Amino acid sequence: MKLHIVLFALVILGLLATARRGANLLWDEAESRVVGFDVGLCTWTPAVNNTGPLYNLCNTVHSSTTGLIK
């Protein structure tokens, strides 16, 4: 139970750090304006059969204001 609480706290801290940095925003090459954003879902999962080290797996969708993602 304590491990679950620690992992939950680490995930929340990571989300807060990401939100402060504005990491979900996509900027133009001059970094002068926002041209899109990322939406993602990440999960911590063990390697095999619920044993071994944890891996952070993410699925990210990129959206843009112009409809074109390079």
The letter for the amino acid at 59 is N
Tell me, yes or no, whether 53 lies in a domain: yes
With b for 16 or more beta-carbon neighbours within 10 A and e for fewer, the 9-46 pattern comes to eeeeeeeeeeeeeeeeeeeeeeeeeebbeeeeeeeeee
Tell me, yes or no, whether 7 lies in a domain: no
Question: Residue 19 — very low, low, confident or very high, per pLDDT cuts 50/70/90?
Answer: very low
Tell me, yes or no, whether 8 lies in a domain: no
Tell me, yes or no, whether 13 lies in a domain: no
What mean pLDDT is reported for the chain? 66
Average pLDDT over residues 3-18: 59
pTM (predicted TM-score) = 0.33
- Per-residue pLDDT, 15: 54
- Domains contained in the chain, number: 1
Average pLDDT over residues 20-46: 71
Range of the domain at 59: 24-70
Tell me, yes or no, whether 3 lies in a domain: no
Q: Residue 30 pLDDT more than 80? A: yes
Tell me, yes or no, whether 10 lies in a domain: no
